[in-house]
Amino acid sequence: MLTARAPLTRRTTELGLLLLADVAVVGAYVLASLGRTASIPANAVPFLVAVLALTMAAHLGTRRLAPDATPILLPLAALLNGVGWVFIARLDSHLAALQAMWTAIGVAVYVATLAVIRPLQVIERYRYLIALAGIALLLMPLAPKLGQNINGARLWVRLGPLTFQPVELAKIALAVFFASYLVEKRDLLAGPSMRIGNRLLPDPRPFGPLVLMWAMSMLVMTAERDVGFSLLIFVLFIALLWIATGRAVYLGIGAVLFVLGSVAASELFSHVHQRIAVWINPWPHATSSGYQAVQALYAMGTGGVAGTGLGLGRPQLIPVVVSDYIFAAIGEELGLMGTTAVLIAFVLLVGTGLRIALRSRAEFPKLLAAGLTAIVGFQAFFIMAGVVRLLPVTGVTLPFVAYGGSSLISNYIIIALLVRLSHEQVSAPAPARQVALA
């Protein structure tokens, strides 16, 4: 039984962790300035005030709207966001100003999400409407005049002066739909339900969305020329399908489908083939398509164990370093210790999200928490693995760390939904049916 004092203790813990994160971020900002100019930045105090104001606004929103929520998620997001901003400021002051604006908007959206979506179970009723919205957002970059091709990928939409990636919001909408759909179809997917002769086989009708999502991911890969989000969306669905049913065969089916699609795309589309070739061996392409990957490897190697020091490296030699390769910049200036710290922060964030899923007593919140956590976890893994060449570079952004307004806002929405779920699971009555995490 939760005591009246427990919410206060959780929020006090959150406040303390946020203050520690703020101190670390401001300290890193000062050190980066010392490394570049050998002087303390003149705006150190205003920067501290701005950081405190944003984190306190998010904390007060949580304290008011979700007092029973876990105290871990928001400080981890604030720390990753702050570290990323320090590196963006160290590399590009103009983009740093934009990222600060997006952070403020992200915090506002975080509080608004907590205020609007309660109870969270209500959104389950609108799953098909949310699914349509997600598919529309996913395909929006293909619309004539709206869609924009940037750095070879058609993922952006331009509305007046604003350019954004609608797929960042689409992945959340699809996670909501997947969770709701699998709650409804779990029994059909979990075991054989159709008789053919003397054998019971799974009913093929519920597999329609599996094939549809495979086709959708292939469309994103080919038409929008993007590997990262197509892989992310398909892996999200397969992971939730496995969690809902407990049948590992779906992992195998999903892997086979995506490998077949990837091989076909590699043969048919030059941009996919080029990325795979650079992944296998970037050195023959060191002055062309592999230049970015090679410079990232040099940066990581230069950083070694402890790094060159904040502001003392040359990560600006890596093209598009603030978005695609910011993990390599961290590796150069903070070394293996810095990249390990970032990795641990993501592990803690994913672990907290899965803990929320395990403790949820209703089926839809359980699957939704697992799905939202999978988005952050897989996205972080894909980009970090791409930088160190465990996987081909996917083009997704490192959550909270890399530059990007669409990514930052969508990730704050994910954190808000997880915070809402962790708050509601404390007092929600236990339902009769449960779904077990495989």
Cα(438)–Cα(436) distance, rounded to whole angstroms?
Answer: 6
Six token digits for residue 189: 């997917």
β-bridge mates for residue 164, sequence order: 157
Half-sphere exposure of 268 (CA within 13 A, CB side): 12
Six token digits for residue 100: 């600060």
Half-sphere exposure of 153 (CA within 13 A, CB side): 20
Mark the ranges of the chain whose per-residue pLDDT is less than 50. 1, 430, 432-438
pLDDT for 3: 53
pLDDT for 436: 47
pLDDT for 373: 97
3-class secondary structure, 34: helix
pLDDT for 435: 47
pLDDT for 127: 87
pLDDT for 341: 96
Q: What is the pLDDT of residues 7-25, one digit of tens each?
A: 778 899 999 999 999 999 9
Residue 22 in contact with residue 48, Cβ under 8 Å? yes
Cα(301)–Cα(317) distance, rounded to whole angstroms?
Answer: 14
Q: What is the pLDDT of residues 112-170, one digit of tens each?
A: 999 998 888 888 888 889 989 988 888 888 888 787 777 666 777 888 778 888 889 99
pLDDT for 122: 83
Q: What is the pLDDT of residues 225-266, one digit of tens each?
A: 777 788 888 889 889 988 888 877 778 877 887 788 777 777
